[in-house]
Amino acid sequence: MTEVVHTPRVFSGIQPSGDLHLGNYLGALKRFAEAQDQGIETLYCMVDLHAITVWQNPADLKRATRELAAGFIASGIDPEKSMLFNQSQVPEHAQLAWIFNCVARMGWLNRMTQFKDKAGKNRENASVGLFAYPNLMAADILIYHATHVPVGEDQKQHIELTRDIATKFNHDYGVDFFPITEPVIEGAATRVMSLRDGSKKMSKSDPSDMSRITMTDDADAIAKKIRKAKTDPEALPSEVEGLKERAEARNLVNIYAALSDNTVDQVLSDVGGKQFSEFKPMLVELAVDKLAPISTEMGRLMQDPAEIDRILAKGAQKARAIAAPILDQTYEIVGMVRG
Ligand code: TRP
């Protein structure tokens, strides 16, 4: 069997479930834009088929999909450089997912911690789609023979499953067809924590709106949330070790570093010794400077949903040009009669 070398291709997906926040921006969107600008082929997908594994109000789902598209574009994803589309407009994802339903084993999916968390105690009442979700995710990635997938730590297990599916498929059919995809896991610096509790991830489901900066917050809201963010009475340290037991301080310094494209070390060598009364206004200025234009741009884009829909349709068309021949070859390998 000859070893096939796959050209580098980046794929990632985000669920259109509403309320994008700073964690999504620094952990995903900003990194996606950076990958796009490195000259690699990039595909970014709003995974609407994944969203309906739990109930979604149809009108809200449409709105969230368009808002997510606006968030991508406002964050620097250029639809001329990256393929930007919603999953359901490329039917090959769902078609390949069926093949993978027949490759993946029940035992593999039974081990998925995200399913256990999401289904909770009420497993019998979870949708079949929620259980099979990782197979669709594997199809999202492998329908493009994507080699690299930027994701959060919580998705690592799903990427391992994707690798297991590719390996089993290649082995069962005696081919070297699907690549063994590499996860590109976010670093600690882009993991954004709650502004009210530095030990919890920033999340759209936190009941306190003050715990997160959303991507649609205007300058005033951004400033207010940072001014009220929880801190401690100590001055900032000059070395990273000094942030060890100070989750809130560490979070604000991390946010500053990520927004200013500096390392935490660089930031601390500048601000070490300062009190929060001095550091917070610096962070407010930086955050407003970087984030307010994004929220303004999202607002502008959302005024014209028809234009967003055109962009997504065009992105889907380009994505299908890659996906369709890969699905064809897959069907051929599996033994489907093709007319
Ligand atoms: N499961 C991912 C999440 O919840 C979203 C997702 C779906 C995804 N398909 C993907 C991410 C493919 C990366 C690649 O965050």
Does 204 participate in catalysis according to the annotation?
A: yes
CA of 227 to the centre of ligand 1 (A): 33
Instruction: Kindly report, residue by residue over 50-106, the tens digit of the pLDDT.
Output: 999 999 999 999 999 999 999 999 999 999 999 999 999 999 999 999 999 999 999
How many Å apart are CA 323 and CA 287, to the nearest integer?
Answer: 39
Residue nearest to atom 11 of ligand 1 (CA): 13
pLDDT confidence of 323, banded at 50, 70, 90? very high
The pair of structure tokens assigned to 54 is: 């739990």
| Mean pLDDT for the stretch of residues 106-116 | 96
| Mean pLDDT for the stretch of residues 234-245 | 95
pLDDT at 233 over 70: yes
How many Å apart are CA 201 and CA 206, to the nearest integer?
Answer: 9
- Answer positive or negative: Cα dihedral of 28, 32, 33, 35: positive
C-alpha 226, offset from chain centre? 24
CA of 45 to the centre of ligand 1 (A): 9
How many Å apart are CA 264 and CA 243, to the nearest integer?
Answer: 10
Please report the pLDDT score of residue 5 as a whole number.
81
Please report the pLDDT score of residue 162 as a whole number.
98
Give the pocket of ligand 1 (CB within 6 Å): 11-13, 15, 47, 50, 137, 140-141, 149, 151, 155, 158
- Answer positive or negative: Cα dihedral of 205, 209, 211, 214: positive
Does 201 participate in catalysis according to the annotation?
A: yes
Please report the pLDDT score of residue 2 as a whole number.
54
Instruction: Kindly report, residue by residue over 327-339, the tens digit of the pLDDT.
Output: 999 999 999 999 8
Predicted structure pTM score = 0.95
Reported as type and span, the H/E element at residue 121 is none
- Answer positive or negative: Cα dihedral of 9, 254, 159, 318: negative
Does 228 participate in catalysis according to the annotation?
A: no
Q: From 45, 96, 113, give the residue whose CB has the most ligand 1 atoms within 8 Å, as the site to mutate.
A: 45
CA of 246 to the centre of ligand 1 (A): 31
> End-to-end distance of the chain based on CA atoms, in angstroms?
28
- Closest ligand 1 atom to residue 133 Cα is 1
Please return the burial class of 286, using the count of CB atoms within 10 Å of its CB with bins 0-12, 13-18 and 19+: middle
pLDDT confidence of 188, banded at 50, 70, 90? low
| Mean pLDDT for the stretch of residues 193-218 | 95
Angle formed at CA 76 by CA 157 and CA 255, multiple of 5 degrees: 65
- Say if CB 84 and CB 315 are below 8 A apart: yes
CA of 137 to the centre of ligand 1 (A): 6
Residue with tokens 């489901």: 205
Angle formed at CA 65 by CA 57 and CA 151, multiple of 5 degrees: 115
Given the DSSP bridges, would you call strands 148-151 and 83-86 parallel, antiparallel or unpaired?
Answer: unpaired
Please report the pLDDT score of residue 175 as a whole number.
98
Please report the pLDDT score of residue 160 as a whole number.
98
